[in-house]
A = this chain, B = another copy of it.
Amino acid sequence: MNISALQKARAAYQPKLPQGLRGNVEIKEGEPTQSVDNQEEIKELFPNTYGMPLVEFIPTDTKKEYAPINIGVILSGGQAPGGHNVICGLFDELKKQNPNNKLYGFLMGPGGLVDHQYLEITSEVVEEYRNTGGFDMIGSGRTKLETEDQFESGLKIINELDIKAVVIIGGDDSNTNACMLAEYYAAKNTGVSVIGCPKTIDGDLKNEQIETSFGFDTACKTYSELIGNIQRDANSARKYWHFIKLMGRSASHIALECALQTHANITIISEEVEAKNQTLDDIVSYIANIVAKRATDGNNFGTVLIPEGLIEFVPAIKRLIAELNDLLSTEKAQTETENLNNEDTFAWVKKNVSAENLKTLESLPEAVAMQLALERDPHGNVQVSLIETEKLLSEMVGKKLAAWKTEGKFAGKFAAQHHFFGYEGRCAAPSNYDADYCYALGTSAAQLVANGKTGYMAIVKNTTAPAAEWIAGGVPITMMMNMERRNGKMKPVIRKALVCLDGAPFKTFVANRDDWAVNTHYFYPGPIQYWGPTEVCDPCTKTLALEQSK
């Protein structure tokens, strides 16, 4: 294997397991569960997978015999550090249960199940990927498993390979779909179980049962390393404001965590913007005021963290986007704009939106307005990630400051640099936390299968304690569901966790932000360390630590 020195050394790391998963394992079942909301509807939609108990794995002296089984595994959606370790944990536990067990990986995401693309994950494969980042072992993809045709096509290859269970590693949507698949296979008495695993760097798949989604830890630490480095630069050169956009489709958990790790001067939290009904101009004024305040101290530099999804959380823009999404999906729009060029389509849009939303549209720089009005993803939605919010904001801040300068309200200098961090951290090698957490999740998934469970997500709790004290088990996916409107229809979905404005992480941020804004209290977290002192290598995110310390 021709690999980097770090990969080689890191491959030897043996992830720590909770006590309950180390030796012989027994399952402990709790009381029947209820979904978090809309119990009747969810129960009706999931008659076979509703109401099951929470389960926990505990050590036992009794050695259990395991009949041989085959399992399939799928990586779904965006990459997150630690995905390979979930598969390694799953593999090791499978082989421990019975050396004849087999693990199949479906290739390039859920599409691999539908299209029958797979490989057997042997020990040779696994050894190459221990403690590595990325999803390149079997690839990932964004195909949504939703239709009966897909379920049936999957069943064919499942039967062909004599697969007993499919483990789907994904975010909230993928796990919702995992549960639909579980329900479908249960209803048909196929004997095939489906287990989910909580993945996403966005950190928005968490609730009473799931402490955190894997990958959030490593991604935030990688972004914070870079933000810290940039802050050192800002504080040394003293001449630039750095506007840094951070990946994370809707929730602002990444921005918040990075703020807590780096003490950036300014961090915008989308959920707060929405709750306070702020306009883009409110945000711009907030930033410009801090720039001006720092300038009076001679500090013409600083950092601004911006969550990727911000635009959609500005209520006025959200209303605009909602109308645009509806408007452009109408038959009228499709007929009338079919042969128009961009400019004419834009004119058509302006003529057809409501007066209020037209005003919002026209308040935006034209390039951004056109992006909003014209560019859609394959699902017909605005492509938020294409909007360069970091440049949009710095441009608007620059204009405001220029106006203030002529009014004598600003005497400083303002020059900006822009950054967008996403791909830089999604595939980083997992931190010790994520390496351990993922390995335990994979082990837990194998135990859920061995215990005949379906429609469950593997979970590991108490992860702010040393790994030995972690508690592994499973949660019925239906327990985390409620009904939400999606594309105009009510659907059962796992409730997405946005930043909670009453939560300890946000409150801690609020308690400090005025200080961080004006003073320069930068933290420099540095690169993720694997072999150093435990206080450097092993801590979980500030978000999780604060949430658990309540």
Which residues of A line the B interface, CB within 8 A?
2-7, 9-10, 78-79, 108, 132-136, 139-140, 222, 225-226, 228-230, 232-233, 235-238, 240, 242, 261, 417, 419, 423-429, 521, 523-533, 535-536, 539
Shortest Cβ distance from A512 into chain B, in angstroms? 11
Please tell me if the beta carbons of B134 and A523 are within 8 angstroms of each other in the complex: no
Please tell me if the beta carbons of B225 and A527 are within 8 angstroms of each other in the complex: yes
Of A417, A419, A521, chain B has the most CB atoms within 10 Å of the CB of: A419
Distance, CA A529 to CA B13, complexed state (A): 15
Shortest Cβ distance from A234 into chain B, in angstroms? 8
Please tell me if the beta carbons of B525 and A424 are within 8 angstroms of each other in the complex: no
Distance, CA A6 to CA B528, complexed state (A): 9
Contact partner, A5, options B6, B9, B237, B539, Cβ 8 Å: B539
Contact partner, A532, options B9, B417, B427, B535, Cβ 8 Å: B9
Q: Chain A's interface: helix, strand, loop or mixed, by majority?
A: loop
Q: A9-B536, A79-B237 are in contact. Are A427 and B229 (CB under 8 A)?
A: yes
Distance, CA A525 to CA B233, complexed state (A): 23
Please tell me if the beta carbons of A236 and B139 are within 8 angstroms of each other in the complex: yes
Contact partner, A134, options B2, B232, B428, Cβ 8 Å: B232
Please tell me if the beta carbons of B536 and A133 are within 8 angstroms of each other in the complex: no
Distance, CA A289 to CA B136, complexed state (A): 25
Please tell me if the beta carbons of B136 and A4 are within 8 angstroms of each other in the complex: no
Task: Report B-chain residues with C-beta under 8 Å of the C-beta of A108.
Answer: 238
Task: Report B-chain residues with C-beta under 8 Å of the C-beta of A222.
Answer: 229, 527
Shortest Cβ distance from A22 into chain B, in angstroms? 26
Contact partner, A417, options B79, B419, B423, B523, Cβ 8 Å: B423
Task: Report B-chain residues with C-beta under 8 Å of the C-beta of A533.
Answer: 5, 9, 531
Shortest Cβ distance from A259 into chain B, in angstroms? 14
Task: Report B-chain residues with C-beta under 8 Å of the C-beta of A423.
Answer: 229-230, 233, 240, 242, 417, 419
Please tell me if the beta carbons of A233 and B134 are within 8 angstroms of each other in the complex: yes
Of A222, A225, A236, A530, chain B has the most CB atoms within 10 Å of the CB of: A236
Among residues of B, the one whose C-beta sits closest to the C-beta of A134 is B232
Distance, CA A427 to CA B228, complexed state (A): 9
List 13 contacting pairs A-B, 8 Å CB cutoff, sorted by A: A2-B521, A3-B523, A4-B525, A5-B533, A7-B524, A7-B526, A132-B232, A134-B233, A135-B237, A139-B237, A226-B226, A419-B424, A527-B527
Please tell me if the beta carbons of B238 and A4 are within 8 angstroms of each other in the complex: no
Task: Report B-chain residues with C-beta under 8 Å of the C-beta of A140.
Answer: 236-237
Task: Report B-chain residues with C-beta under 8 Å of the C-beta of A535.
Answer: 5, 9
Distance, CA A428 to CA B224, complexed state (A): 12
Shortest Cβ distance from A420 into chain B, in angstroms? 8
